[in-house]
Structure 1
Amino acid sequence: MFGKEHTITEHFPHYFLDYREKLSAEPEDRWSNRITSQDGTWSGNLFEFYFKVIERITSELDVPFHLDPETLMRKADSPVRKALREAVLNTIIHANYYGSVGVVIEKEKNNFVFSNPGVFRMPLDKALEGGNSDPRNPTIFKIFSQLGLGERSGYGLESIYMTWKSKHWKRPSIREEVQPERTTLTLEPVSLMPEHIIKKIQYHLQEKFHLLTPDQLLVLATAYDEGKVSNKRLQNVTGKSPKIIGDELSLLVSEELLIQKGAGRGTVYELSDKFQISNNDNSDNDEGKLDNDEALYDKLLAIASPARDKSRLNPEKMKAIILELCQYRFLTITELSDLLDRKSRNGLRVSYIKPLVQDGKLALRYPETPSHVHQAYKTVSKQ
């Protein structure tokens, strides 16, 4: 825990601590930052290694603004920071320092990897339940606990999984190896429900979108992203039992949101025709639905970002954004409200669309029928 590296290795010959950081996407680039217990510039003990790693591994994380109600000071913490701290602690506390390999923690552009010598001392599913504690190094665990670091006994791994789940990120993975024994935890802050896919599902389902549960939305988003899903695939994504997933899939099939194909273990599910362009959609809109042009959709989302980031925006700024959005094609009030993230379509129509039409800055798709069910708007080009 304390002491110097050369003294520690007299008792634990294979003792080695290694933190590697690679934030470049270029494969030929090596580590942009590295800390090892053998570099001679610091003590090389577990205590100092923990704080060095925590400083580096959380350095690029955004922290939401929250005030401590007692001190009225900003709380420089977040659930993700806590989860990463817990992962570092678990790696140190559960390492087998008599093993033949060292502790390795890696931070890359899209993932965090925590690897320690030794395997679980209890079944993994029991460890994930929470409340079950069997630290390999109880004295190290006790010292960190007395310093106020780490979750309460037996809940560290569960809290990491719950944090990733609350963010709708890819489920953490744990791999155990033998000869030599090693346990590796990989955390990827990769969204299972990308915003552009959620907006597409919302566009297709309209009011029914808000009736979906988080699990149902995750199923549809996975099917949208991957083309099809299976019960087994969703088990890996959600961590839930086959029965629970099967019930959700059956419900989505009965609601005609998914189509079942195949049988038995080969059963897969695809999105239904509710997510396709119908003939009625095309009859009044030869451009088709906006989200079919993914490049344009992403471009419009970027243009609308100032409005999406603020619930209140200067009216003139909002009008300028609307005009920029509508310069590429006719957009309906539904498409505009979704792009701008404004729930009140009527408010958007009355406060912005109508004045812009009256000023001759927006043109109607159906000028002879202002209240047309498929009415859409396009910016009038300057001559």
Structure 2
Amino acid sequence: MFQMVGLGEQAGSGVPKIYRSWNSQHWKLPKLEERSESNQTVLAMEMASLIPTDAVEALRLEMGEEFDKLDKVERLAVVTAWTERCVTHRRLMELTEDHPHDLTLKLHALVGRGVLDSEGPGRSTFYFLPGRHPIKDTELDISAPPERGALNSVHNTNSVHKTAKSVHNTNTTRVDIERNNQQELQLNSIAALISTQKRTDPKMMRKIIVTLCHIKELSIHELGRLLKRSEETLRTHYVSPMCIEGLLERKYHNIINHPNQKYRAAKKSPAIPAE
């Protein structure tokens, strides 16, 4: 490992050697992470394959010879779409050193040949395997309906339990409403440290946002309502930078502009202690 890093060799020669080695093994490229809180710069080297064997086997069965005709970058895009449900231009840039324009052409070519489908405008575009929409498949109930014979056999059982379920659901709803009301009061109480002030110290704003997102996953709209600040200001000056710094995490990390995007505090993020 010390030899790979380049200890004792010409300064700066080690890191490129690491990148070449990781690339030759189809591993995730190392990432340089700047951790301002601990004044550290960390080179994270994951020995995780970008092209898992099970994904390759499944795609070969599904696509046949078409999969073997794909070049290295095209194959990486398709495998990523299979393993992560979708792939974006930005995500592909993280996985390969190819020029961004070349990646754009590759993705467009895959769509043109019917290997991938796409959705979203401009930088919000994401790509997925045909018939496997990453949002609709996870947010809609796609379970197959029971057969006709099964419907008749379970009808009587359902009618027997209908009253009991109704009572149970009513009680559960009341508990949920009470819990949500308490949570809303807690959120508003914390947000008041910001919402009642015209000007706020940026450090305090960041602490409040982390604390709110510790309590509940929140969208930009919800944060704006609680803090009485514009969504654009929160997104540009706080939420997006805090995601990059690892203080916040996106619910849909592969689709940044997901219409139902929400944010939660990272486990390492310190919240303001409750009084």
Give the number of the structure whose residues are more often helix, by fraction.
2
The answer, yes or no, to whether TM exceeds 0.5 is: no
Give the number of the structure whose residues are more often strand, by fraction.
1
Q: Which has the higher contact order (CA 8 A, sep 6+)?
A: 2
Q: TM-score range by the shorter chain?
A: 0.3 to 0.5
